[in-house]
Amino acid sequence: MQGCHISPMRIAINGFGRIGRTILRQILALAQHDDVQIALINDIAPAETLAYLFQYDSTFGPLPHDVTVSGGNLSVCGRNIALFHETDLTALDLSGVDVLLECTGIARTSDVAERGLGAGARSVLISGPSPAAEVTVVLGANIHVLGAARIVSNASCTTNAMAPLLRELNAVAAIETAHMTTIHCYTNSQPMVDAPRGDMARSRAGALSMVPTTTSAMTLIEQILPDLAGRISGAALRVPTASVSAVDLVAQMRDDQDEATFTAALKARVAANPVLGWTDRPLVSADLRARPESLIVAGPEIRMTGRRQLRVFGWYDNEWGFSARMLDVAARMADREAL
């Protein structure tokens, strides 16, 4: 799917934070998004702050274009995008919008999620797990469940990394049980200095320690791949890096495996999955920044213990890759409207 042209669609972005800004960066940077129209951006932060944070990004570097605000518009690369600061989406006119990209992180109830529909958008795609969603979709794993759903969750970045891998791994050699550890860069849910955050470990300074914690991915995996329900466990380790995360999966297979045969078969399955990648080079996390795949499997890190225990390791840019999936799934949703 990477590099493929995306059909014309009209979107709106609600919440111009890490994911909202990364989505717009991809629209501006990649030719396959030339036909994506941006009806508006809505965020409660001051316009000048939004423009500044979009132009100067500590993770992806400065945008090689001027970003200005004038007359209620965010102007960049010849695009003038209407900028609003409404706390209630129903105050906006979203008529003609194929997909509202809900990127605030607060669409936890159907009332909040449905405000986009109430404002006129044909459908809403939520940038994270949400009980308000009619379905949770992970491209490369369960896109077939999309159907006619109007409120859709794009799951989490880790779920987007894990689910396609588990699907292909289970197809190559049936999984008996597995445990996943996501080695995840720090995020805004952690403080920069020690401060109360409910979870005691997550109350510690995120850039100073490795922090063991939980991940929502495991609950979502059971929804997305019900055949594996009860057989996959997982945990997270937040680490003091600013971008790019990893999945370390140890699986017990049902039948004996040959490591070379297994690796070749998995590599072929990964090549056929539109959101997965593979590397045979000895890469480190910085090498994977701004990669669009949901997960890049590290071939040299595959290990076998005995004949049935396998270890598979992969990298994912938890912001860039996830934002790429937001645009991909939005395109699928918009295509329904054109029928």
Residues taking part in catalysis: 157
Alpha-helix residue ranges (DSSP H) falling in 173-273: 217-224, 259-272
Dihedral of CA atoms 137, 140, 141, 145 in degrees, nearest 10, equals: 40
CA distance 160 to 259: 26
CA-based nearest residue to 131, from 146, 109, 101, 155: 109
H-state helical runs in the chain? 18-29, 47-55, 110-118, 157-172, 217-224, 259-272, 320-338
- State the DSSP string of 265-300: HHHHHHHHSTTEEEE-S---GGGGTT--SSEEEEGG
